[in-house]
Structure formats: C-alpha cells, structure tokens
Amino acid sequence: MINIAESALALLKKSEAEARKLLKKESGPVSVAASSVHKLGEALVMIGQGTERRFLLVVADYPQVLPAGFEGELHRLSDGAALVGKLSAANAAALRRHFPWTAPSSLHDCRTTIGCGDRLGLAGRGQLASIRKFKVKPVLAQQSKRELSMTNRSFQDVVDAACFSVFEADWREGWGADGDHLKTIADLEPALAAGMPMVTLDLSDQIVAAAAAWEDGEVSERFGDCDPAEQERIRSEYENQVFVVGESEVAVDGATARRCAVMYGAALDFAVKVFQYLKSKRGSDFDLELSFDETGVETVPAHHLFIARELRKRGVELASLAPCFPGEFQKGVDYRGNLAEFERQLRLHVRIAHAYGDYKLSIHSGSDKFSVFPIIGRETGGRFHLKTAGTSWLVAAGVIAAHEPALYREMHRCALENFGRMKQFYHITADPARIPALEAVADTALPELLELPEERQLMHISYGPILQGELGGRFFAAMHRFSKEYDAALERWFDRHLSLLGVGKRQCK
C-alpha cells in the first residue's frame, strides 16, 4: 500500500490520464483501479484493493493540502503524505462533495433506465462495465425495506456503496438511487435523507384488490358509499366511454368504471399526498414510480387508463408506473405465460402511458425474463425502466459455486433450512424436493445446478440467512478474493439482458 502511495506521490505533477496509465502497471497483492485515479487540487484520490478489503487512498505533497473531509490513517511518505481510509460513510460523503457526479440524480428525462439492485454492495463495477456499452442509464442504488432488513444495511449504506463504484469506474454520465417498494411517508424519509431521488411507491396496502373478484352488485354497493358528487363525476367521465390512445381504443363500461373507483380511489388519493410530499422535500428533482405489481391482481388496460387519467387530472407527474402484467414474473426465472397476450396488453399499456404523461413503463422482477425482453424493447420503443435485484446476487452465488464449491454447499444447505420461512416474503413456486441431493452433484457441476429454476429460486430468496454470521463472513471474504471473476460474470450477464432488450450500443470512442 505504501509503495503505491509513493508511486502516486511521484505522479502529482502529471495529468490525470498519465497518472492512470503509469499506476496501472502496479500489481501484486495490493493494486489500484486505474479508472479511480482522480486529481483533486494538489492531491490524487483513488481506490485500491488489498488482500482483505478495498480502501480509499489520498496522496499529497504535504498533510496540510490533503483535501478536507476524508478520514483514515495518515502516513508520512518520503516526500509527502498519504491518507488511507475505509470505504466509509464519511469518505463517501467527501467524494460526493468534491466530485458531484458521484451523487445520485433524477433520471426523469432518460429514455431507458435499468435498476441494478445490489444486495451485497459489490456489484457496481461489473454492472457499470456492461452499462457503459449501451444507451441506458443505471439506477445503481436500488433497495427495498425488505432487502435492507435481510442484509442489515441502510439506505445510506446502499447509496454509499454505489457512490464508491461510480468513482472507481469514473462513471460521469449520471446514475439514480431508488427507495424501492416503500408504502408509507415514514418509509420515504430515510431514503430521501440518504439522497435517493427516486421513490417506488408500493400501493398494495391502499388498493382494494379483493374488489377485482367481487360481483357487480357488491361493487355497486361499495361505490354507493362514495361521495355523491364523485359518483356522478365517475359516471359522466367514464361510463360507457371509449378512449383513443394512439392507434388503439380502450372501452370502459359502467361496471368497470365503478370497480376502478372502488379499487383505486384510496390509492390515488395517497399517491397525490406522496407526490406533494416529495415536491415539498425535493422540488422537481425526484422520480416517482407507482407500483401496482404486488397486488396479485392483473392491471388490465382499462384499469391502467383510469389510473393514468385520474393521476393526470390531479396533477401527479410520474417518472414510471409498474402494472401487474399478465402471466408470472417470478423471481430468478424466465417469464411464465402467454407471450402473444403479454405483447398485446403491453402495446396498450405503452400507448396509455404515452397519452397520459409519457411516463415509462416499469417491469418489476425483470431480471432473467429473456423470452419477453425482445417484446419489451420493441413495443416500448426503448422507453422503459427494468428492475433487477436478485440476479446480481445469483451471479455472486455462481462465482462461489465455480471457485469455492465447499462454501457453496454450505450456502445451499442454509437456504434449504430456511426455505419455508423465506418463502413467505416472495411469490415463487419452486419445489426444493425437485433439486438433486448435493451429495450426488460433483463440484464441477455446481454452476450447472444453479441454472435449474428450483435452485435459482431457492438461492434467490435465501440471501438473508446466508449473509448472516460466520457463513456470511466467509462468503464476503471469498467474494473479495474473486472480485475480478464477479465483475466479469456480471458484465456478461447484464450484456445478455441489455442486448435482448434491444438497447442500442454506444459508439466506441
């Protein structure tokens, strides 16, 4: 570490590009990511990797000229000083202050965005290696309250990990941060405090999902509880109306209008309240996404049209909206359903979104849905948001299976022991009984085992127990040893996603 600091010290008078080129030659147990080398006044700031951890390194001719805000151990060099610090919250904050492009920002005006959930805080480099090849902007810090509780992290931890990845990769083209699947204004507050400009509002607690299956009489009875003036407005604006959206028409009969008012009325009122709250906190610098995908009730086009039209009438500006699409978007596996029907409905959803605010459609649990990716890219014209989360964790599990088979076997056993408990948090249909006994699987075949849908779903939902205690410590130590392999595997996996989605390639510089 000190050798690298001495080498960096000798390059203070060089340009940033020259310093990167020369430091790239350093190798051995301690190294520096060349892309992370940045000039800051009379100092150089960079991220290195040692045998056990990554670290922040700041060097200058004199201790007095080390940039303010960074924390760590001060080392005297032969002719200068070096600060060696952890990838801590204080150092992340200092990076954002000195290098503003390392802070998340609104991606409201970006045509194509991808959520890059990272349960480990290790995936940013590999994800960005892929993303920089395509015309897409990343939401690198994306995490739900459920995931935070499973991993003992905070929204600030998630943002800080992404900040370090952005700095290390020298990504200066903007990135987002998403407080995912939040349900209350109290939930929003820690996400906003962490600097997250995107909020995904999960309306499942506000929607009367059961009304989707009620008889018309029961719906009419509940509709009769609404304010009489509101009843009259709904009837006059929607009953037996045909709405033109692009080249399509969406018909709404009386029963559908009443059902929509009953199902979504409270949710729409709450969405208005949250939108106004976000405006009071961030002005216009935020991205609001509404999530309808957790209800278990398909968001048919007529319902989407009602929601979109009502939101526009109430002045709510969306960045994106996630319908509950036909078919199944289960975790960790490909789409299950009728592709032709999915395509037909997606086309209508796209036209509704364009007609009532031109927001993006958001596809949740979107990773690994390879059969529908070409449809999504084609029908949306590239205007979409795709959420991934657990897939980056599964890639990490694959790296362990390939390089530390004994550890993977322990992870698998932990997952089996906790499957019943973890299944209550996720909608999956995996049957662990269909997974071959690990005693019959050779070490070399473990990566292939992780290609089975049942194994993928088992491991997908069991990250919480695996990452706890001594097993979690061994996992993270192994991931540090195989960080290059993880970066390369993630890059390939995201390349596959973005290529099938039809996202355009960037021109090589």
38 is in an annotated binding site: no
Instruction: Give how far Cα 259 sits from Cα of 212, 215, 219, 227, 325, Å.
Output: 7, 10, 6, 15, 18
331 is in an annotated binding site: yes
Q: In the numeric block, which tokens belong to residue 460?
A: 């997908």
Contact between residue 464 and residue 423 where contact means Cβ atoms under 8 Å apart? no
Contact between residue 137 and residue 505 where contact means Cβ atoms under 8 Å apart? no
Cα 418 from Cα 438, distance rounded (Å): 17
Active-site option among 157, 168, 180, 455:
180
State the number of CA atoms in the 13 A half-sphere of 194 facing the CB: 27
| H-state helical runs in 194-226 | 216-223
Find all residues with CB under 8 Å of 50, minimum gap 6, and list them: 1, 29, 30
Cα 201 from Cα 144, distance rounded (Å): 11
Q: Does the active-site annotation cover 187?
A: no
Q: In 341-395, at which residue ranges do the beta strands (DSSP E only) sit?
A: 360-363, 384-388
Q: Does the active-site annotation cover 180?
A: yes
Q: Judging by beta carbons within 10 Å of its beta carbon (0-12, 13-18, 19+), is residue 468 exposed, middle or buried? A: middle
Cα 139 from Cα 166, distance rounded (Å): 11
304 is in an annotated binding site: no
Active-site option among 118, 157, 202, 289:
289
- Give the residue from 312, 319, 293 showing the smallest Cα distance to 384: 319
Known binding-site positions for a divalent metal cation:
181, 331, 364
> Which residues are catalytic, by number?
180, 289
